[in-house]
């Protein structure tokens, strides 16, 4: 139901940028995690509450967290598409990732090694978004904005 988009916004906040600001997360630094949570919370403070509609997570963080949640080896876009991550599950996944160093995160079978550094910060951003929006869950989409735009332009939606 793309025609029913109630709110869309891109924030100048991302896991790579946070990693540049807080590189010690590679070593499970609790202070860096706290600072990342605070910064993400500040950025996302004005997100409107879900109030009867659902937010969709797209991109690398959402799909990687869904793959971890589903323990997908190998990655399966069809199983990721539409996967729902509850707030409680987002909290536990974020905590699990924060309790590991980068080297330990590299050993998570369902996580690409190239995401082992940024995934913990992406999980923090996702969790802070869910807190700000009072979302009880996020639905994950394996398709992104550019793919949706192209499909709309081609008349496929």
Q: Which residue has the tokens 């536990």?
A: 92
pLDDT score of 149: 55
User: What's the pTM value of the predicted model, to 2 decimals?
Assistant: 0.87
pLDDT score of 1: 45
Count how many residues are written for the chain.
157
User: Tens place of pLDDT for every residue, the chain, 157 residues?
Assistant: 456 677 777 788 999 999 999 999 999 999 999 999 999 999 999 888 888 777 888 888 999 999 999 999 999 999 999 999 999 999 999 999 999 999 999 999 999 999 999 999 999 999 999 999 999 999 999 876 566 556 556 665 5
Rounded CA-CA distance 85/139 in Å is 6
pLDDT score of 76: 93
Chain-centroid distance, C-alpha 116: 13
Tokens (6 digits) for 118: 């940024």
pLDDT score of 155: 65
Rounded CA-CA distance 50/52 in Å is 6
Q: Which ranges constitute the DSSP H helices of 15-71?
A: 15-21, 30-43, 59-70
Q: In sequence order, what are the beta bridge partners of 141? A: 58
Cα 137 to Cα 74, 92, 96, 102, distances in angstroms: 24, 13, 18, 27
């Amino acid at each position: 139901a793309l025609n029913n988009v109630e709110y869309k916004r891109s924030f100048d906040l991302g896991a790579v940028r946070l990693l540049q600001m807080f590189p010690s997360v590679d070593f499970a630094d609790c202070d860096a995690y706290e600072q990342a949570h605070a910064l993400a919370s500040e950025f996302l403070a004005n997100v409107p509450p879900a109030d009867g509609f659902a937010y969709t997570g797209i991109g690398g963080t959402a799909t990687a967290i869904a793959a971890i949640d589903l323990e997908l080896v190998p990655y399966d876009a069809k199983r990721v598409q539409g996967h729902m991550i509850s707030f409680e599950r987002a909290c536990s996944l974020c905590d699990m990732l924060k309790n590991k160093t980068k080297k330990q995160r590299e050993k998570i079978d369902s996580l690409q090694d190239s995401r082992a550094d940024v995934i913990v910060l992406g999980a923090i951003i996702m969790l802070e978004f869910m807190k700000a929006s009072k979302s009880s869950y996020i639905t994950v989409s394996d398709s992104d904005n550019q793919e949706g735009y192209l499909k709309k332009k081609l008349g496929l939606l």
